[in-house]
Amino acid sequence: MVSINGQEVDYLSELVIDEECITRITIKEVERKIYDKVRSETVVNVVVKYEATYITIVECQLVNKSYRMGSDCNESIINLKYMSSLLLLDYLWISSQEIRFTGINYEITEITELLGVYPYKIDYDELAFPRVECDIKGDVVSKMVGHGFSYFVAPSITHEQDGLHVSMYGRIQYSGGKERNISEIYELLNSICLFFEILSGEIITIGDVPLNHGERSIKTVGLCNFPKNKLNSLQSNFDTRSYLRKGLFKISDFEEGIGSAITVFYKIQNECMLACEAYKQILLDEEIKISTYNKFLKVMQVVEGFQRTKIDESEEVEFDNKKNELMEKLDETDRAFVKKYTFYNGQNFRKCMNEFTIGSIQIISGLPRTKAKEASEKIIGKIINDRDVYTHASKEARPILTIEELQAVNYCYKSFFRVLVLNNMGLSERIIRKRLLFDRKFVVYYEKLFKLKIEKEDNYHDTGEFDQMMW
C-alpha cells in the first residue's frame, strides 16, 4: 500500500472485488499516528501498488476497524476495512490534485439495438439456393449528436473453426469540453441511463466505462452497475432475441433531431425530477417482478410529478384577482384568515390525470380531445378513487380496481409517461404509434382500459432501416 488520503505509508493490504463490483480493502497494522489523521474523515482515497501498477480506490468509506495489542503493551495494532464503488486501474492519485477526467466512453445493455444503426452492407440478391454467395462488408458508423455526445457502431466478423461469426458492437462517447469530477460523472451516467430507460421502457445497465485522462484511458471497476457474473452476456450477437424487438424506441427514430431531443430531455429531467425517480423505481419493480399497491402509487407520482410542473400562469393570476376581490368584502378577521390559509396550489390531481391521459390518447389513437376525454372518464374515476383510498386511509372507502385492472393501469401509465416525454423531445406521433403496435402487452392493456386501439398506418411494419435489415 502506498498512501491513505495523501499520507504516505507502506502497509500490507488485502483487496477484494465482489459480485456487485464493490471494492473492499483491508489495511493491516495501521500506525496510531496515521489512524488519528484519517479516523474523522468521512471518505478517503487509497492508493495501492500491485505488480508495479498503481491502483487508486476512490472515496472509500470505513466499514470496520479492529484493535489488538502488539508485543509492546503500549502499542495497539489497528486494522481498517474500507469499501468503495469505484476503483481506477493504472492511476496514481496525488493528494494535491482533485480526481478529474476529460471525458468517458461506455457501453450499455442492448446498445446496438437502442442506437438503431446497421454497420453492414449485404447483397441479399446473391443469397440464392442451391448456390449461396454472400459478400459481407462492414463499416464503422459514427455520429456526433451535440452536447458533447457521439456514438459509433462497428462490425465484428470473427473467423472460427466451425464457420464465420458475424456480430456488431457499439459505444457511446462523451467529451463536454471540460474536466469533470467523480460526482459529475456519476450524475452524467445517471442521466444517460434514464434517457435510454425512457427509450426502452426497461432498466438499462452500464457494462464498461473507461475514463479519459489526457491522452490516456483509465479503466474503471465500479461505475458499471451490473453484477460481474452477468457481464459476459452483454456481448449481443445476431443470434440473440433482443434484436427482434420492434417495440423499442431507438436513437435513429429521431433522425437528425437527436441533438435538440437531448436538450429537451435535460429540461424535462430537471423539471420532473421526482417523476423520473418514481419511473426508475417502477422499472426496478418490474425487473424483480413485484406488483403491489406501492407500485400503483409510484405510477401516480409519475403522473403528478410530470403534470404539476406545467403551471398555468394565467389561471394563477385569475385566482389571485378573484381572491383579492373577495377579501375586499370581508371584515379584518376574515380577511386575515383568507390571506393566511388560501393559496393557489396549481392543478389538482384530477386535472393532472385528465391532462396526462387525454394528451397520451390523442398521440396514440389520434382522437380529438372530446373523444379522448369520453374514453378515459370511467377509468380515471376508478384510478382517483383507489389513489385516494391508499393515500388517505378510511374505514369506509374501498379500492375498486381489480388486480388485472391495476396491472393494466401500471403498465399503460408507465408507457404514457414515455410517450409524452418522447413526443416532447420531438419524436413523431407516427413512429410512436408504430413502435407501440409491437408492444403486445400495451396493446392488450390499452384496449382493456380505454376500449381504444392504436391508430395504425398501412405501412406500420416500416420502423426503419435497422429493423428491416435485422428482420
Contact (CB, 8 A) for 357 and 378: no
Contact (CB, 8 A) for 204 and 193: yes
* pLDDT tens series, the chain, 471 aa: 689 988 889 999 999 988 778 999 999 988 888 888 888 888 999 999 988 899 999 999 999 988 776 666 566 788 999 999 999 999 999 988 899 999 999 888 888 889 999 898 766 554 455 555 666 788 999 999 988 999 999 998 887 777 777 888 899 999 988 899 999 999 999 999 999 999 999 988 887 889 998 889 999 998 876 555 554 444 444 334 455 788 999 999 998 889 999 999 999 999 999 999 999 999 989 888 888 889 999 999 999 999 876 556 667 778 788 888 888 888 888 888 877 777 665 558 888 999 999 999 999 999 999 999 999 999 999 999 999 898 887 777 888 999 999 999 999 999 999 999 999 999 999 999 999 999 999 999 999 999 999 999 888 888 888 888 887
Tell me how crowded residue 415 is: count the other CB atoms within 10 A of its CB.
19
Contact (CB, 8 A) for 116 and 251: yes
* Alpha-carbon distances, residue 255 vs 210, 265, 268, 361, 457 (angstroms): 28, 16, 20, 24, 20
How many whole angstroms separate alpha carbon 427 and alpha carbon 337?
48
| Backbone CA torsion sign across 158, 162, 163, 166 | negative
* Alpha-carbon distances, residue 279 vs 189, 282, 301, 413, 416 (angstroms): 17, 5, 9, 10, 11
CA dihedral 385, 386, 387, 393 (to 10 degrees): 100
Helix, coil or strand: residue 44 = strand
Q: Give bridge partners of residue 138 from the DSSP assignment.
A: 120
The domain locations on the chain are 3-89, 100-244, 273-310+348-470, 317-345
**Helices 349-365, 429-437: crossing angle, 10 deg rounding:** 80
